[in-house]
Structure 1
């Protein structure tokens, strides 16, 4: 009888051991792609970068990934992507604005998805400034704007294009590089006096909701309407295939992004809170991104 009891106990212990091992194995297989994988997003100092980055971050974290954000200017982001230090950039303006970076680093990067197709950008002026309808109309009227174009950081594609346009079109302007916030603060001071001012603008951006502005059409090859793309480094597909799959399905409406920017910038709301609200209120879009 004792031998029978011992045999039964051993059998029970074996069954429990096998069951636990099986469960652990199943759990490990289910999280194999996302466990112990960190995805690093490059984040430029532009308001348009924040909403899609935060939405992607929350969705990937929900899948089990660890997500980091690294702040850098555009040149730093593309360099980081090319070296594998960064994995994803949600705000690549193509085919023109960031073409120089894609030409330099393109063999190490992947154009993964188009977020939206109506990224308007260029030099902007307040609508109360009369007689200027295009960049060509600025020739000979540089003094009206104090001989200055207010712009963003030196490494940005828009800065590179602006300097090229000034030189090639023979415009007598000084390009004043600053942060996005510094540029807007200077423009706001001048617009408060209803004086002419020339600065960089792009959509999506709350400046178009807060002020009456117009983008000046530029000659072909400078500031063309852009598509905004999701760029990843070449290693992400193998490093985190499920994350890559989600990013390859990426799409967000430009008007949604502008509304989110206003909530974050003007209403001082937490960016991740606003991103979560978008996720909660757009189940169909989220399902499409997840490929469901």
Structure 2
């Protein structure tokens, strides 16, 4: 009797709630641990989980992020900086991935200094190298912006300056410490980033155009996603936001966790989220 009762309960559950037996497939997203990509990835994860999906997010290098999407090891990512910063990866893999939208316009990369620093151009750095401890504070070695910074060292003949590799966290830590001491410091920088909301910073002019003009951040997926998970595909295609919205999440992350900041933003922006879900 107990077995029959158990079978009866399971059948009843299936009839009342067939979703129990038809779980949504898992969505796998890759991301680079840059502030804006952490923000967008966690917001996307939060919304997809609200839609009933299990979502796994994996931090990797930029090169691995593109490659994993091309091979289908992940479903995609929201941090494709184009056309310059990650343009090399896109050019190599453009036939194996799909760029489905521009989720943020007005992105920018370059070298930045505090507003109190008297120089205004990259061309002035080498002559003032000692003031900056003869170093440009960079991020992880595989980042596209680091390649551009290396190129800038050559194009601007900065033989007195050295590019110091590290991570986004170490870069902002150095910036914070020297800013508080009102000491000159130059860092590899990009927008959107919470550091521009927290401190008074300025991009150095780039007369040679080494870092390119304004960029956009794209959502990139494996080509099969549209057929395999059309609702996820449509949601990711609809996902877009502004610099201010992205930087708000980044600021909240600094005072909490990526998950908490994403959940707060999603809760406070229901109309935006509703628009993303159209057709999903």
User: Shift in Å at residue 188 of structure 1?
Assistant: 2.3
TM-score for the superposition, normalised by structure 2: 0.87
Aligned length in residues: 267
Provide, for residues 108-146 of structure 1, a one-character-per-residue CA deviation record: whole Å limited to 9, x for no partner: 11111111111132100111111x212223243333322
User: Shift in Å at residue 283 of structure 1?
Assistant: 2.1
Counterparts of 1:198-237 in structure 2, within 5 Å, are 198-218=186-206, 219-237=208-226
The one of 155, 162, 168 aligned to 2:142: 155
The answer for the alignment partner of 1:99 in structure 2 is 87
User: Shift in Å at residue 291 of structure 1?
Assistant: 1.4
User: Partners of 1:189 and 1:58 in 2: how far apart?
Assistant: 33
Call closer, same or farther: CA 1:222–1:120 in 2, change over 3 Å.
closer
Provide, for residues 137-183 of structure 1, a one-character-per-residue CA deviation record: whole Å limited to 9, x for no partner: 32433333222111100110101111122123322221100011111
User: Partners of 2:69 and 2:107 in 1: how far apart?
Assistant: 22
The answer for the alignment partner of 1:4 in structure 2 is none
Counterparts of 1:1-292 in structure 2, within 5 Å, are 27=18, 35-130=23-118, 132-172=119-159, 173-218=161-206, 219-265=208-254, 267=255, 269-291=256-278
User: Partners of 1:223 and 1:207 in 2: how far apart?
Assistant: 21
Call closer, same or farther: CA 1:192–1:276 in 2, change over 3 Å.
closer
| Partner secondary structure for residue 140 of structure 1 | helix
| Partner secondary structure for residue 166 of structure 2 | coil
Query: How much is the aligned-residue C-alpha RMSD, in angstroms?
Result: 2.4
User: Shift in Å at residue 249 of structure 1?
Assistant: 0.8
User: Shift in Å at residue 246 of structure 1?
Assistant: 0.7
Conserved 8 A contact 1:54-1:271: yes
User: Shift in Å at residue 220 of structure 1?
Assistant: 2.4
User: Shift in Å at residue 27 of structure 1?
Assistant: 4.5
| Runs of 4+ residues over 4 Å off in structure 1 | none
Conserved 8 A contact 1:96-1:221: no
User: Partners of 1:199 and 1:46 in 2: how far apart?
Assistant: 14
User: Partners of 1:227 and 1:185 in 2: how far apart?
Assistant: 26
